Chains A and B, each alone.
Chain A
Amino acid sequence: MCKIHPIAVVRWLFVLSVTLALGTPPAPAQSVRVVTLDSPAPLVVVKVMVRAGSAHDSAGLEGLAYLTARMLIEGSFGDPKNPVTKERLAEITRPWGQGATPTVQVGKETTTFSMTVPREVLPRYIAQIFRPMFTQPLFDARELDRLRAETLTTLRSNLRLEQIELVGLVTLDNVLHAGTGYAHPVATERGAEAISREALLQFYATYYRPEHLVLGVSTREEALVASLRDALAGAGASTAPPLERRPVEPPPAVQGREVVIVALPNAISTGLHAGFPLSINRSHPDYWPLYVANVWFGTHRDSFSYLYDQIRALRGYNYGDYSYIEHFENRPFALFPPTGYPRRYQYFSIWIRPVQHDYAVHLLKALTWELEHFVRTGLSEEQCALAKNKARVLYLSLAETTERLLGYRLEDEFYGLHPGYLESYLDRIDAVSCAQVNAAIKKHLQAANLKYVVVTDDEVAPRIADAIAANQPAWGKEPVEYQIEVREENGQKLYLVPETKRALLERDAVWAHYWLDIPRNRIRIVPAERLFVTAALP
């Protein structure tokens, strides 16, 4: 039952010596760093964050971080004569509940292992599983072949052809970071094919050493914490020659507007995405005003926000419309951002969930105009207050479980946040003024330099490309679809527009006549089958 869907697990590396945008560089540590959470719960959440992710994959070996992590769990570990195979691992952990089976998330700059273990078996768990998994991985070649095959299947069929929403989100992430270590998902076809057991050993030897690990534990019992920390002391020990650490580069600047259209063989609707790199992450003081602004503009999966209200609630185009100031993993399925995917370089993005093909160009104009309008007008005091109140309520979900609390604590280590994100969340929100919100919008958001990704049917793709380039009016729904009565009088159509719907129709006209100004040579059509072959866009 535990088939993996490795889609969209993308990450990058964290180099200790790199200075964050506004944070202070963390001091290089010589041993495992530890963060704890004081929970009396009888199940202890244990996480280990490795400060390396897919952005550290050697060029041409995309998938190295991902396969190394999977192989640590599933590729057998411990005594080679009596190894803990994946089957034995399942047998050992079964009586301890579902959570005792380790899981791993591979991000751009981090790899995070998680397990939930009954307090009273933790010493045995450390001896039988935790320590040998991190310090004596065997990297069984047969398991590598199996995982490689699964990864390829996921890239080739699931991600490219079955996940219309996810393929757009991943592609936008990739194109925004073209040429850097962020530009590929957890693996590429060529990369996964080329990865050898030797390469895994090298990656392990380079990045799994204690100084690159952060241990998170949901208890402050000193003996338990110490034995977990000590169990990691031998991590990364290997005779394999270490790799040269791959530096994490900032994304290239976006100049003007350009479009990538992903063409699928059988898409029944069209998904729209747009974005640009942000120069800040959550360690920057402007983060919080920008966060409040975004809560108002596009909170994920929430009817509160403006984009959702305009496109879904008022006009009924699709299931939802959102914006983001941070990467949000697994957007099609998650209600709240999963932890475990921190990134030094963040991006702003807008996501219009799939709409009828015919409305795609109208809504591309709409999202661009609305972003431009948002930057131009900012928020009123009343809107700011509403957004702050909404932001406060979101905290309850972000901080819901111990697992999430600990996940954020690890991310705090990554970003160098003290006090931590959730610890200071409510105070930070309260402290934001509307003037700061509007200043942050003006400073960090814009609509002139955007990369768009459109995911659509391969027969529709050229039409959309031409329609974008044409700079002609592009309309969406007809007035009748808003239940507006139409009469024929003297051969002319007469729309009986109630006062309540006037603004909506006027805005439709504004959208229709907005010029995207994107020449045809800045619009590329890419067949979905050619995505994720290498780190570069075909």
Chain B
Amino acid sequence: MKAPRQPVARIRGWKYSTRKAPAVGRGTAPSRKKPGPAGRGSARTALVALVLGVALAVVGTPALLAQAKSAAPQKVFPYPIHKRTLANGLDVIVIETPEFKNVLSFNTLVLAGARNETEPGKSGLAHLFEHILFRHRWKGQENGYEEAISRLGAHNNAWTWFDVTFYHPLTFTANLEGRSADLPGLLALEADRFSRLDFTEKIFRTEAGAVLGEYRRNASFPSLKLEERLMALLFPHHPYGHTTLGYYEDVLDMPNEYAAAVAFYETYYRPNNCVLVIAGDVRAEEVFAKVEPYYRDWQPKPVPPILATGAPPQREQREHVTWDADVAPLVWVAYRMPAYKTGSVETAVGQLLPELLISPAAPLYRKLRFEKQTASALDFEEGTQGYESFDPRVLILSAQLYKEKYAERGQAYFDEVVADILAGVEELKQFSRRKDARALLETLKSKYRYDFLAAMSSPANIAQTFAWYYRFERDPEVFEKLLASVERLTPRDIDQFARRQFVPEHRAVLTLAHDASARP
């Protein structure tokens, strides 16, 4: 199977505000614009501009303006959102964007990811299932689904992450329904593979092999190893403790897990556990009428809750990881974060953390990258997506260091960078005491709002972002509520959030360096 798409995060130094793509997926397609708001497009835009030779005006020192107070319109998201829930519990969302003529973005969100792999020895199944869905035997034919999609004409891809799996074919509105029995439409093909998946053990074993290939490919990235260690340390009693790819030994054993895979599908690929998000040049009422007959026979089933089996550790975790290739040293400082909740102060502050910590205007970023030049990159390892999660998860600050400096100074270099990161995070606890706190906060809100809108640049981007947030409370008003909660923030909210979350008992500090260059 194809390689996973690599996050744009690999382009270090440009990523600060780019949301990271889900860790694994089928695509070789370039990462789409990431779900979610706020300058998430901006680093990418800057990079594109750079390589295009497009001239950007030089950005000067940030300063705060009165303009930031421009009145927010009543409704920020410009397109009508329609929702219908079928009798079997399937939520169907239609977002009408008629200006994108003939475009149909047809997305299925499955509310199951690595978090739902609760049995020991069976990690990685959600991701494997994403592969299997493309091998669906439409009309009993090997490769039947893929060939039918190819005849129809569509870009077709999917990704898996810790909470969800997302399938996102893109085609023409006219392809929603078929032209003949031999040329089924997208609706028929998608409904069929989700509700009546047909795959054999042979297919299963083949795809398990492909996933192993994917693991091996990703294994050359030191960040995978760091992530495995970090999650195991912070979440020893919750499925967030393993990555989406799964443990290596589980992936090796995957070909023998056919029965477990069938059980995973039977449990989670249920209409009440999925959301259809259809965006583009469509009319909601017509879509609802067409969708219903295709999906109504899909049988619902209660989905088991995911429960932690114990409390997370209550003291700081530290670990050093060695690496066999001569890569740049890494420092990760991670904090457990509260679960995502639309409208909560915690979630609203979370939206602004990239601008507060890792944007070129943030004091921490400037110190490490410009003043001391101790880091060649400073990012959130998972964007803000890492802590936009069903259960409390994690914020990871990731600094890439210089090999030469580490060779010279060893552990003292690590210590200095870690101390600087901790101090930068600590500063947020006094945010409201900054003289310009109020004005700065207003600018950040304004930038957040407009960058959020700028990210809504196509039906596919709109649908993906919507699905990402809708899943939490299944509220079609989620965009407005999230944006409103950011608007309500005060400088003291920042202080209080930082004081509650950025404490040693929530923290883990990991370092990674090439073995031979390690100094005692």
Contacts and interface: CB of A to CB of B under 8 A. Distances in A.
Interface of A: 1-9, 37-43, 69-70, 73-74, 85-92, 94-106, 116, 118, 120-121, 124, 186, 329-330, 332-335, 338, 389-390, 392-393, 395-397, 399-403, 405, 426
Contact of A39 (B30, B99, B450): B99
Given A399-B103, A401-B457, A401-B458, A95 B70 contact: yes
11 contacts: A2-B57, A41-B78, A98-B45, A98-B451, A103-B49, A105-B55, A118-B453, A330-B52, A332-B51, A401-B457, A402-B99
A291 B502 CA distance: 57
Given A42-B76, A86-B60, A330-B52, A95 B442 contact: yes
Nearest to A85: B60
Interface string B496-515: 00000000000000000000
Nearest to A86: B58
Given A4-B56, A399-B101, A42 B453 contact: yes
Contacts of A397: 155
B46 A42 contact: no
B154 A94 contact: no
A333 B54 CA distance: 13
B273 interface: no
Contacts of B287: none
Contact of B50 (A4, A40, A106, A395): A4
A128 B143 CA distance: 59
Interface string B125-158: 0000000000000000000000000010111000
Given A6-B55, A90-B60, A186-B53, A400 B65 contact: no
Given A97-B454, A105-B55, A400-B457, 11 more contacts: A2-B49, A4-B56, A7-B53, A41-B99, A41-B453, A86-B58, A103-B54, A103-B55, A333-B52, A392-B153, A392-B172
Given A102-B57, A105-B54, A402-B99, A94 B76 contact: no
Interface in B38-81: 39, 41-42, 45-46, 48-65, 67-68, 70-71, 73, 76, 78-79
Given A97-B447, A98-B42, A402 B457 contact: yes
A97 B53 contact: no
A95 B446 contact: yes
B377 interface: no
Nearest to B63: A91
Contact of A2 (B59, B68, B71): B59
Given A39-B99, A69-B55, A399-B103, A92 B65 contact: yes
B67 A73 contact: no
A41 B70 contact: no
Contacts of B59: 1-2, 90, 101
A393 to B, nearest CB: 5
Contacts of A92: 65, 67
Contacts of A330: 51-53
B65 A43 contact: no
A126 to B, nearest CB: 14
B46 A1 contact: yes
B243 to A, nearest CB: 28
B220 interface: no
Contacts of B60: 85-91
Given A103-B56, A121-B70, A396 B46 contact: no
B47 to A, nearest CB: 9
Contacts of B61: 87, 90-91
Interface of A (DSSP majority class)? mixed
B456 A120 contact: no
Q: Which one of B53, B73, B151 has the highest number of Cβ atoms from chain A below 10 Å of its Cβ? A: B53
Interface of B: 30, 39, 41-42, 45-46, 48-65, 67-68, 70-71, 73, 76, 78-79, 99-103, 151, 153-155, 170-172, 360, 442-443, 446-447, 449-451, 453-454, 456-458, 460
A3 B103 CA distance: 36
Nearest to A301: B30
B67 A96 contact: yes
A344 B6 CA distance: 38
A324 to B, nearest CB: 17
A96 B153 contact: no
B53 A396 contact: no
B103 A116 contact: no
Nearest to B68: A95
Contacts of B55: 4, 6, 69-70, 73-74, 103-106
A329 B100 contact: no
A128 B209 CA distance: 60
A120 B67 CA distance: 12
Contacts of A399: 100-101, 103
B242 to A, nearest CB: 33
A8 B53 contact: yes
Contacts of B457: 400-403
Given A42-B73, A393-B153, A396-B171, A97 B450 contact: yes
Contacts of A42: 73, 76, 78, 453
A41 B447 contact: no
Contacts of A7: 53
A334 B55 CA distance: 16
Contacts of A85: 60
A-B complex: 5 closest residue pairs judged by Cβ atoms: A97-B450, A87-B60, A95-B446, A98-B42, A9-B53
Nearest to A88: B60
B158 to A, nearest CB: 17
Contacts of A9: 52-54
A396 B450 contact: no
Contacts of A39: 99
Contacts of A405: 99
B62 to A, nearest CB: 6
B407 to A, nearest CB: 25
A338 B45 CA distance: 13
A85 B153 CA distance: 50
A137 to B, nearest CB: 13
Nearest to A113: B55
A411 to B, nearest CB: 16
B53 A1 contact: no
B139 to A, nearest CB: 21
A91 B62 contact: yes
Given A90-B60, A124-B67, A393-B153, A99 B454 contact: yes
A405 B50 CA distance: 22
Contact of A98 (B41, B50, B54, B155): B41
Contacts of B68: 95
B52 A95 contact: no
Nearest to A93: B57
B148 to A, nearest CB: 13
A8 to B, nearest CB: 6
B454 A98 contact: yes
A405 B79 CA distance: 18
Nearest to A10: B53
Contact of A89 (B57, B151, B449): B57
A520 B480 CA distance: 69
Contacts of B62: 90-91, 94
B57 A86 contact: yes
Given A74-B58, A92-B65, A389-B153, A100 B450 contact: yes
Contacts of B101: 399
Given A95-B446, A400-B460, A402-B99, A2 B58 contact: yes
